[in-house]
Structure 1
Amino acid sequence: MMISIKNATRWRYFTTLVSLLLLVASLLMIGIRGLNWGLDFTGGIVTEVQLEQAVTNHELDQALDAALGQDVSVIAAGEPGRWVLRYAIPAQGQSPDVADVLNKLDAEVQVLNTSMVGPQVGQELAEQGGLALLVSVLCILGYLSYRFEWRLASGAVVALAHDVIFVLGFFAATQMEFNLTVLAAVLAILGYSLNDSIIIADRIREVLIAKPQAPISQVSNEALAATISRTLVTSGTTLMTVGALWLLGGGPLEGFALAMFIGILTGTWSSVSVGTVLPEMLRLKARDYLPEPVSETP
């Protein structure tokens, strides 16, 4: 026998109100501050250098960030002592020579090659990333339209939008670099949040058919009670994995792991709140899922 959550209706509506406030704040951050686009989108300079094996990533970060006046991406190239440096083209003036900066760390530094990623490449990557996001959203909308009645599907769609906008708002507020790895995390968040929303929506549909006379708030509470343990266990284990990636993955994976961490939290939150409250506000009824009576008249 299913056990309904005590005061679940009040908490669901309260969390929906919080979600609405966070959504507005995120939209304001995106509109006012904008995203700090990474070199994948804006273009920049890529330099490969060879230094002593004793020089660490942290030492390179400190020396280059101070000399170039910007956040320089330092990536190990696979061989000991070889590093790939990525930084933006200076807006004004000429930036210091990388070899001169790194001479303080290693007098035998070698600059193996330097290349420039132009704005045309950055624009192409931005268009491809936006197209990938659009196609994924259209596929999700098509699936939900086929699987659920529009009132119940709307809760999942709005929950998806809530999760993505909140992640973008966080990156806009903190001005962390938004690059292709973060975009990949946003696409992964779409699929993860959709999974939670569909499970809860499917359970709501089952309870509606089994108890057509029950109030819709009671139906949502029973569906939530039946799925909450599964949702928390799945989200908890995924958060542990993403948290380890965040702490141990280093700088190149920090944006991806942080976006995934926030997306999993908000995805679980929105599936429970927005995903159940919006169908209630749209007056979801059991008759929307009951089969239509077949006339016996020939």
Structure 2
Amino acid sequence: MKSVNLTKVRHLMSLFSVLLMLLCVALIGIRGFNLGLDFTGGAYAEVAMATDTQVNAIETALQSVAKGSLSVVETEPGRFVIRMGNQLDSAGLDNLKAALFKVDESMQLLDSDSVSSQVGEELYEQGGLAVLVAMLCIMGYLSLRFEWRLACGALLALVHDVVLVLGVFALTGMEFNLTVLAAVLAVLGYSLNDSIIIADRMRELLRAKPELKVTQINNDAVAQTFSRTMVTSGTTLMTVGALWLLGGDALEGFAIAMFVGIVTGTLSSISVGTVLPELLGIKPPSPEPVLADTP
């Protein structure tokens, strides 16, 4: 591929990435997130029932018990996870069992728990703080590891990946819980690794070939790391895809967040991570002065 064409591709990808990031920011501000039980508070119960039990039959039976939101998910044949917006005390738990016994007399309560709204709010705040602290630590590492223009490119790529993952959940309305938050933090680490590889190659080429244009150096850096990036991303996507298809509803949110993050992380490290240093005017380092030999 000619360098001119590759430069145009990188710039178009970067423009598309920035527009997509702005769109996701707007979606997050307008639609918000469908927060799960971990953040909103409520009750959780896991039950074992007959394999022919229908989800809608359980939902109908629990209408008198549940207050607020109600979600029933069949994790495997005969096993159901019930989430309600209200907390359950001992009397409420007895009412839950009585309602489920009407659907299946052989019902077994495997697990139950309640999260108060105050605890859920604290978890939400602490989760956001964890993402912020991770970003600040990464910023500090990049500022020490790379020249500031390269560091800015890698940092913007990280912000791009996180915003796109959050934008997908805001757009689709999928449940955002602690599992998804863990995936967002994992995406940060994965995207950082990808961005560092390309930034490090750019730095090496700037030192080795200072006579070349910056656009040519960036094109060479992308071309030389492309096969490694595709192999790493491809194998990781196969693993995440297996989790998505076979992990069930419990891991669906985590797998989707990871899948989106890996795809966007690969694209942003090539586009945003290389184009921003160009726009900021990155240059090859000045050659070190040669000292004359003393007689």
Task: Report TM bin, short chain.
Answer: 0.7 to 0.9
Aligned counterpart in structure 2 of residue 184 of structure 1, from 179, 182, 185: 182
Q: Is the 8 A contact 1:50 1:82 kept in 2?
A: yes
Distance apart, 1:63 and its partner CA:
3.2
> Could you tell me which residue of structure 2 aligns to residue 293 of structure 1?
289
> Could you tell me which residue of structure 2 aligns to residue 164 of structure 1?
162
Aligned counterpart in structure 2 of residue 8 of structure 1, from 6, 19, 22: 6
Indicate whether 1:209 and 2:203 are aligned: no
Distance 2:200 2:106 in 1: 64
What code does the residue aligned with 1:16 have?
S
Go from structure 1 to structure 2 and tell me whether the alpha carbon gap of 1:196 and 1:73 turns closer, same or farther (over 3 Å shift).
farther
> Could you tell me which residue of structure 1 aligns to residue 106 of structure 2?
108
Q: Secondary structure at the match of 1:7?
A: helix
Distance 2:122 2:147 in 1: 38
Unmatched tracts of structure 1, length 5 or more: none
> Could you tell me which residue of structure 2 aligns to residue 150 of structure 1?
148
Distance 1:198 1:135 in 2: 19
Distance 1:133 1:181 in 2: 14
Aligned residue pair count = 283
> Could you tell me which residue of structure 1 aligns to residue 36 of structure 2?
38
What code does the residue aligned with 2:172 have?
T
Q: Secondary structure at the match of 1:218?
A: helix
Distance apart, 1:86 and its partner CA:
2.1
What code does the residue aligned with 1:10 have?
K
> Could you tell me which residue of structure 1 aligns to residue 220 of structure 2?
222
Q: Is the 8 A contact 1:4 1:225 kept in 2?
A: no
> Could you tell me which residue of structure 1 aligns to residue 260 of structure 2?
262
Q: Structure 2-normalised TM-score?
A: 0.86
Q: Counterparts in 2 of 1:20-59, with a 5 A limit?
A: 20-52=18-50, 54-55=51-52, 59=54
Distance 1:8 1:65 in 2: 55
Distance 1:139 1:211 in 2: 32
Distance 1:29 1:103 in 2: 42
What code does the residue aligned with 1:47 have?
A
RMSD: 2.8
Indicate whether 1:87 and 2:87 are aligned: no
Distance 1:35 1:278 in 2: 30
Distance apart, 1:294 and its partner CA:
7.0
Distance apart, 1:223 and its partner CA:
0.5
Q: Is the 8 A contact 1:4 1:222 kept in 2?
A: no
Distance 1:266 1:292 in 2: 38
Q: Is the 8 A contact 1:75 1:252 kept in 2?
A: no
> Could you tell me which residue of structure 1 aligns to residue 17 of structure 2?
19
Q: Structure 1-normalised TM-score?
A: 0.85
Q: Is the 8 A contact 1:48 1:84 kept in 2?
A: yes
After superposition, the C-alpha distances for 1:66-109 in whole angstroms (9 at most, x for unaligned) are 664855254769xx96655222239xxx9xx5446534641333
Identity over aligned pairs, percent: 59
Distance 1:175 1:108 in 2: 35
Distance apart, 1:7 and its partner CA:
1.3
What code does the residue aligned with 1:63 have?
A
Distance 2:69 2:200 in 1: 49
Distance apart, 1:295 and its partner CA:
6.9
What code does the residue aligned with 2:86 have?
I
Go from structure 1 to structure 2 and tell me whether the alpha carbon gap of 1:145 and 1:100 turns closer, same or farther (over 3 Å shift).
same
> Could you tell me which residue of structure 2 aligns to residue 242 of structure 1?
240
Judge which range, 109-118 or 148-157, deviates more.
109-118
